[in-house]
Each structure stands twice: as structure tokens, then as C-alpha cells.
A = this chain, B = another copy of it.
């Protein structure tokens, strides 16, 4: 239990990384939305492995199949079932994991929780699980773009100690996609690519920060108390593999300010009410205020490294383990479309919830 996200726009993902395939059922998408497999595939291609030298070399085409919920190019309002097949699963890479727990992976905790685990791969803890999220997220984005002109743009803001300082609302999709690191700063992108590549050669791994912006969100979305927009965004992000932190607006940095400096004054520019600053990150009292929504998500260094590590086996005996298999030395570049998808899913959910209340 726990594979379902969202209340009004709701996804249920399924699949192990080395089972038959991975997929998603999306229930609650309004009828009549035009969407094609091609549009969804674009987002999956941004997520797929092997897309560049700094991602895992596992070869998966990740071709989306849509089994229900569409008719003549439009959504029916019924569940949309989508999946991709697993093809390049090398379970023999995992033979050693049958009996040994990889440090900081989910092997040990899955075994403790379920008493059984699919040791032939990462199982549900694999990043392959996010395929369903990205596919459903593509539908959510279409809905948000069409009905509200909402545009969600995420990018890599930091990898290891290398970060950029950029105005989030200025970043374009083109800038993000201009390099394989998805860092909207050509110079820093080069450095980050080199840093990731070096880590890969060392058999080491790196973490970082993804920043995401949602433009044009109408005011009024988000449901106090527990389903505040920030609360659902935080849950969405912390549900991602390797995510260890979330902040919105000024986040942790806002703490060093005083209230006088931190408050966002309201003004009216003629077109409507806005705030002079946006330390709130577009959310006040858990509800969107019409300004750009800005969040940041921290990803830890990937747990899979090639160095020999101390660990225990399934009998609790001391042993060592050397990582194998094909993994990302840094998940950040591929995390970008995933963060965007989760943000879209949260916004689509709250969009429908608000419509239900206010018509």
C-alpha cells in the first residue's frame, strides 16, 4: 500500500525494475483532453537511461503503451493505463545482492518490511518506478497548459559543491535542454558535466538540488490545513528516490532574514494584485497567490558506488560489497523531468479540487 498519489487527479504506479514492466493508472483526468502517446513519449525520453554519457548506460527504449482511457485522441474521463516493458534487465549484476545489503539502499529496509524482496534489481525502489509518474505527469501538464497556460520548468541548480545563482523565473525550457546536465548556465554546465564524469570514473557519486518553477498558477489552489500546496509538493518530492530535502520560496535561507525584510508587500500593477518580492514562493497559507511557485528539492549522492563497502548479509553477518550494475553517478539531470511531473500532478490535483468547490 502506498502506490497511489493524489485525490482528484490520482495515479497508482506499479512495477519492479526487473519484472515484466512498469506502469501507471491515472484516474480522474477530465474527459475531452487531447493528448497523444507522442507527447507523453517526449517526457519519457527526457527521463530515460542512456541518454548521455553522464547517465546510467542501461539501455531501455521506454516506449509508452496506452491501454485505456483514450478514444480518437481524447481522454474519455476513464482510467488511463500506461506502461513500458522492461527489456535490458541484467539480473546477474545483482547476484551478490541476493544475500548482501547495499549500504544506504532500500535492500535492508525492504527485507525488514516485507520479509521478501525482488533482489534481482532495485525492485520498486528503482528509479524505473518514476516512469509512470512522468507519463501521468505529461497528461497533467497538458491539462494545466491548455486550461490555464501553466508552464512548469525545472532545472539543476546545484551538483555537489557547484551551484548557479539565477533568477528562477527567467529560466526557459530551451536553456535547460541546451546541455546534458540540464543546468541553465552554459559555463557552469560544463563544470558540472566534468565533475559528474569524474565521479563516474572514480566509481563515486554526487547529489544536488533541482529547482522548479510553475508559471501562471491561478490564486486559490491548495487546501488548508493538511493539503496545503506546499505540503503536497513536499510529499511529492520526498516520495522521489534519493530525495532528502524540500523547501519552498525562501526556504531554509529565509531564516536569516527578519519578518520586516521577508514579508512580501502587495501592490497592484493595474493588471491585478502582485507581490513586490516572492519569498513566499507563490504560496501563502498553503494556497497559491498567483505569483510563480518556486520550490527546491535536495537529492543525496546516489547510493550505488563502486568502492568496496562494509555491510552485513541477510543473516546479519559482517561482509563487504562492491557495487556493480549500471547506475547514475548523479541522478540530477534525469531528475528534472521527474520533478516537473510531480509538480504537475500536484497542481492538477488541486486544480480539480478547487473546481469542485467553486465550480
Contact = CB atoms under 8 A, between A and B. Distances in A.
A119 to B, nearest CB: 9
A312 B272 CA distance: 10
A56 interface: no
A264 B103 contact: yes
Interface in A232-254: 232-239, 241, 243-252, 254
Given A238-B230, A284-B106, A76 B117 contact: yes
A28 interface: yes
Interface stretch (A44-52, A166-174, A179-187, A220-228): A220-228
A292 interface: no
A187 B193 CA distance: 45
Nearest to A22: B68
Contact of A77 (B106, B299, B357): B357
A267 B276 CA distance: 53
Contacts of A78: 3, 14, 16, 114, 123-124, 224
A226 to B, nearest CB: 4
Given A14-B79, A226-B3, A106 B287 contact: yes
A124 B226 CA distance: 11
Contact of A3 (B225, B254, B311): B225
Given A31-B114, A244-B254, A244-B281, A310 B223 contact: no
A87 interface: no
Interface of A is mostly: mixed
A241 B283 CA distance: 12
Interface string A295-313: 0001111111101011110
Contacts of A251: 244-245, 298
A209 interface: yes
Contact of A207 (B208, B220, B257): B257
A15 interface: yes
A275 B311 CA distance: 9
A258 B301 contact: yes
A115 to B, nearest CB: 6
Nearest to A208: B255
Interface string A72-111: 0011111111010000000000000000010111101110
A161 interface: yes
A145 interface: no
A67 B83 CA distance: 10
Contacts of A220: 109, 112-113
Given A235-B231, A244-B247, A226 B4 contact: yes
B108 A205 contact: no
Contacts of A287: 106, 109-110, 112-113
18 contacts: A1-B357, A12-B79, A14-B67, A21-B67, A31-B116, A77-B116, A110-B285, A110-B287, A113-B222, A199-B259, A226-B235, A231-B234, A231-B235, A241-B285, A245-B245, A259-B303, A259-B304, A268-B312
Closest CB pairs A-B (n = 7): A106-B285, A2-B223, A356-B356, A205-B259, A2-B227, A245-B247, A109-B287
